[in-house]
A and B are shown apart, each in its own frame.
Chain A
């Protein structure tokens, strides 16, 4: 998975022109996606299968809407030393060229292709966090070329919730931190609805394409029964993530036990000291302190709840996908039954 890290996000923000409504709230009601940007995203992600790719979104933010008017893909990062520099260079150069032809060159987010819904992982969250820190209203658009069929585009826009942002900035994921921020797995992302927008000239083009000459451009609506391979793959992922979750669970249990052991040790040590002090009092010797020295015992680092939370979220996503799939298949099955009778 291609990852552009903090240097990327900060350099993009310095290159972009700050938008007029910088002081307004950071709530994004809807994402308005230009047809051009959508087709470009679809094309790039589909053509790069089976690799997963990313790219940058450009546009404007207007009130509570985020308009995405253009986008460009990121090249695959080679593993050389100056890959970070070349990446930043690429981005700056691209933005400059865009500006010359009057394309909005404000970064408004990034997009990523996903494989059958597996997009929730630490790098993605981290990248989105960096983007959202620098530009209050950025989104990540996830396009799933595997799950998309002729009749349905699996294109979703996400942002991290404000609660999760505060939690993530603290970089501590202990249980107390989670409770304080009131974040559970369902509140990591918020989905932003996408609306497709076309300039009028483009709509003229679309009408033109429907005319006789370009019959090849017609797309037949597809009522095929969806392949069971989708379901199988989803189930495989479900099982895999169930395994991850149980591994995390056992890790947490281990941590609990270690904590408990340490406490038992501490209390035993305090007991011993008390007994010793009682003896010393009897003998008239000076008493030793009863407060345990924290450095004496091996540290048990607090468990991080981030990974289990992300895993849970991913698991939930898979379940939702299965649910959608089930709904659609039953519809099509019943349709077939009624057709044949």
Chain B
């Protein structure tokens, strides 16, 4: 009998049956997601879905997925995987990343998934995480779901564990942008709305320009809200009002003499250093010209 588990239904069941077990949170790095999608885009003609291994770190109840690599596999009756090589290679670069689970594209969990999951379970110390990325874009969304498996059914006293199946329990997923992820993700997010899918990597000033534009937008929203409240269109909310007041008062006063002096000093320092560096550059350029003009023999 094919054991096809609908994770949603099982999720509902899990709340009543397994309430005592703590569920872990899963944090996924954006690199991992992009690499999964890349693997899926490059799959062979006849493959319905692709799988790969997940690497990362496990702390108390948070599993952080930092890296991944694709695993070539065939999915007929048997499932064949070959991943030792890549794992060794990855270990050389990041020695503290260990197996934390495996990923697959598409939301179906079937017999093969169970086999693969058990295979990973044998490789790892802790229980593996199964990450599903919905590349078919069902419901118009790209869902990212993580599951943990636990066997259903009675466990005999004998050495053979007889289970009627495996229950994949969904876990909460968060996309973490710790440290390294944030930079790249910001840059990528800016390019997502471009139709041509291409975007120049701009210099520093455009980053500032973008930030200022964001600030303007938010100020406009805040101002709109205040106007609406004054005009009586919107019911005033005490919390929002207090937050706005906090924001406004947190701007250091520059109009006073003290503030003005600070501003001028900082400005002068910065401008002076800018002048010095420009002077250095001019000097370098000049010396280059001289060198080629007057070369003693």
Contact = CB atoms under 8 A, between A and B. Distances in A.
A184 B252 CA distance: 48
Contacts of A216: 174-177
A184 B273 contact: no
B56 interface: no
B141 A327 contact: no
B208 A331 contact: yes
Interface in A1-57: 32-36, 38-40, 42-47
B186 A43 contact: no
Interface in A294-341: 312, 315-316, 318-320, 322-324, 326-333, 335-337, 339-341
A335 B201 contact: no
B34 A205 contact: yes
B266 interface: yes
Contacts of B89: 90, 93-94, 97
Q: How large is the interface on A (under 10, 10 to 19, 20 to 34, 35 or more residues)?
A: 35 or more
Interface stretch (B189-197, B220-228, B233-241): B189-197
A252 to B, nearest CB: 10
Contacts of A247: none
A286 interface: no
Interface string A241-259: 0100000000000001000
B212 A223 contact: yes
A235 B273 contact: yes
B35 A328 contact: no
B259 interface: yes
A72 B73 CA distance: 22
B93 A44 contact: yes
B183 interface: yes
A201 B271 contact: no
Interface in A178-200: 178-179, 184-186, 193-200
A219 B142 contact: no
A151 B205 contact: no
A285 to B, nearest CB: 36
B288 A312 contact: yes
B188 A198 contact: yes
Nearest to B39: A101
A106 B279 CA distance: 44
A279 interface: no
B92 A39 contact: no
Nearest to A38: B184
A238 B277 contact: yes
Contact of B210 (A151, A197, A209): A151
B215 A326 contact: no
B185 interface: yes
Q: How large is the interface on B (under 10, 10 to 19, 20 to 34, 35 or more residues)?
A: 35 or more
A197 B198 contact: yes
A103 interface: yes
A203 interface: yes
Contacts of B197: 197-200, 203
Query: Main SS of chain B's interface residues?
Result: helix
A155 interface: yes
Nearest to A31: B201
Interface in A150-208: 150-153, 155, 175, 178-179, 184-186, 193-208
B243 interface: no
A151 B209 CA distance: 9
A312 B263 contact: no
Given A32-B198, A194-B200, A102 B295 contact: no
A323 B253 contact: no
Nearest to A217: B175
B200 to A, nearest CB: 5
B37 to A, nearest CB: 5
Question: Which of B135, B141, B204, B270 has the largest number of chain A CB atoms within 10 A?
Answer: B204
Contacts of B204: 151-152, 324, 327-328
A128 interface: no
A323 B284 contact: no
A75 interface: yes
Interface in B258-296: 259, 263, 266-267, 270-271, 273-274, 277-278, 280-281, 284-285, 287-288, 291-292, 295-296
A223 B208 contact: yes
Contact of B85 (A93, A198, A210, A327): A93
B273 A326 contact: yes
A222 interface: yes
The 7 closest A-B pairs by CB, nearest first: A151-B207, A326-B274, A221-B211, A46-B180, A152-B207, A75-B92, A340-B254
10 contacts: A75-B92, A94-B89, A151-B211, A197-B197, A197-B199, A205-B37, A216-B177, A219-B182, A221-B215, A319-B280
Interface of A: 32-36, 38-40, 42-47, 69-70, 73-75, 90, 93-94, 97, 100-103, 145, 148-153, 155, 175, 178-179, 184-186, 193-211, 214, 216-217, 219, 221-223, 231, 235, 238, 242, 256, 312, 315-316, 318-320, 322-324, 326-333, 335-337, 339-341
Interface of B: 29-31, 33-35, 37-44, 66, 69-70, 72, 85-86, 89, 92-94, 135, 137, 141-142, 144, 174-177, 179-189, 191-192, 197-201, 203-205, 207-208, 210-212, 214-215, 251-255, 259, 263, 266-267, 270-271, 273-274, 277-278, 280-281, 284-285, 287-288, 291-292, 295-296
Given A39-B30, A43-B181, A326-B271, 12 more contacts: A36-B31, A44-B93, A46-B180, A97-B89, A199-B37, A204-B137, A209-B189, A214-B175, A223-B208, A318-B277, A327-B205, A327-B274
